[in-house]
Amino acid sequence: MVSETLQFRLDDRQVQQFQDEGYLIIEHLFTDAELQLVIDEISAELDRRCREAVAGGKLSRTYEEYDFEHRLAHVNRENKEIPKSMWATHVVLPSFFGLMTNSKLLDVAEQFCGPELIASSVYRLRPKVPSHSWSPVPWHQDSGYFEPYCDLGLIMTVWVPLVDATEERGCLWVMPHAHKGGLFSHKPDDAKFYLVIPDEELAGHQAVPAPVPKGGVLLLTNRTPHASFENKTDIVRWSMDLRYQSAALPTNAQITRLPGEARSAASVGVPVACNPPEPDFLVRSRVRPHEVMKTAEEFIALRKNHVEQVATDRWGYSVANIDELRKTE
């Protein structure tokens, strides 16, 4: 049951839209100050990597005169490795933990996933730099990457732009209502970098853009087909995508199990987690509050020490393998 004491409560129309259409844009969730903590740490990390590259002869200068929205685009013209190194989970920063555990965000997640709330391990930092070959993301459902057992559960994606995400800059596109029909088949794309739903499967569904202003978020279900296309501007479309699920779904978070919560059991097809390669953690709980992860240091240690567990290879091409390819691309 959702608590009466939530500070940030969606109205009935918003809840209904998410359930009916499989997505919801919340235009104002974070304050500038809340996002600035994240932006400052990413900027400092980028600065460190640029200085290191200059010292190593891999970059002619640091481009430090450019702001957060532009610097990486300039760096990218000279050195494509630095943007790649800032992508996905290659960057783990204390402020990411702050963002993932932001109380307004947890209030939103609780309204859909319930009060025993797991931050799913799958978070991604995405600097969509102009004209970078891997930054357009083809049509997929997030569940395409997850364990089949979790297809019918809700793993909610919260897509958080760190700059205004407009159509021109490569915001996400979604297919409203298409989350209701279960999972489409997926296959690796030509570059074997992403999973993609073949076009013919999506015939009959209409795509709409989902632009989100900085400070807002886009919510998606794990069955909502979505994609993002080229960034046609000179601004870097920085974003993060975070995920939440109920503790009742399979999770590798180190928590006490309550009656009714799924426990890993190969004999009945229950996996160790919805995405075994990465580590989950408990972010909110009424029943076991002492097991909630409290500090960024714990979060960083968890990511560092997690031993990757094997995922089901349902598309004839292991997702763990795709993750390996992504590391080396």
The residues binding ligand AKG (CB under 6 A) are 126, 128, 137, 142, 157, 159, 172, 226, 228, 239, 241
Query: At its nearest, how many Å lie between ligand AKG and the CB of residue 324?
Result: 19
User: Using CB atoms within 10 A of its CB, is residue 192 exposed (0-12), middle (13-18) or buried (19+)?
Assistant: middle
> By C-beta, is 102 or 228 nearer to ligand AKG?
228
- Shortest Å, Cβ 37 to ligand AKG: 21
Q: For residues 120 and 285, which CB has a smaller minimum distance to ligand AKG in the complex?
A: 120
Give whichever of 53 and 196 is closer to ligand AKG, judged by the CB atom: 196
Looking up tokens 């580590």 gives: 279
Q: Which is nearer to ligand AKG, 172 or 178 (CB)?
A: 172
* Residue with Cβ nearer ligand AKG (115 or 130): 130
From the CB of 128, what's the least distance to ligand AKG, in Å?
6
Is residue 104 within 8 Å of residue 8, measured between CB atoms? yes
Three-class secondary structure assignment of the chain: CCCCCCCCCCCHHHHHHHHHHCEEEECCCCCHHHHHHHHHHHHHHHHHHHHHHHHCCCCCCCCCCCCCCCHHHHHHHHCCHHHHHCCECCCCCHHHHHHHCCHHHHHHHHHHHCCCEEEEEEEEEEEECCCCCCCCEEEECHHHHCCHHHCCCCEEEEEEECCCECCCCCCEEECCCHHHHCCCCCEECCCCCCEECCHHHHCCCCCEEECECCCCEEEECCCCCEEECCCCCCCCEEEEEEEEEECCCCCCCCCCCCCCCCCCEHHHCECCCCCCCCCCEEEECCCCHHHCCCCHHHHHHHHHHCCCCCCCCCCCCCHHHHHHHHHHC
Measured from the CB atom, the residue of 239 and 246 that comes closer to ligand AKG is 239
User: CA 109 to CA 120: how far, in whole Å?
Assistant: 12
Closest CA to 312 of 195, 147, 144, 142: 147
CA gap 214, 133 in Å, rounded:
24
Q: In whole angstroms, how close is the CB of 139 to ligand AKG at the nearest point?
A: 9
Output 6 or 183, the one with its CB closest to ligand AKG: 183
CB-nearest residue to ligand AKG: 228
Instruction: Report, in Å, the least distance between residue 159 CB and ligand AKG.
Output: 5
Shortest CB 251 distance to ligand AKG, Å: 19
CB of 315 to ligand AKG, least distance (A): 16
Q: Which is nearer to ligand AKG, 129 or 302 (CB)?
A: 129
Smallest separation (angstroms) from ligand AKG to the CB of 259 = 32
Choose between 115 and 188: whose C-beta lies nearer to ligand AKG: 188
At closest approach, how far in Å is the CB of 15 from ligand AKG? 21
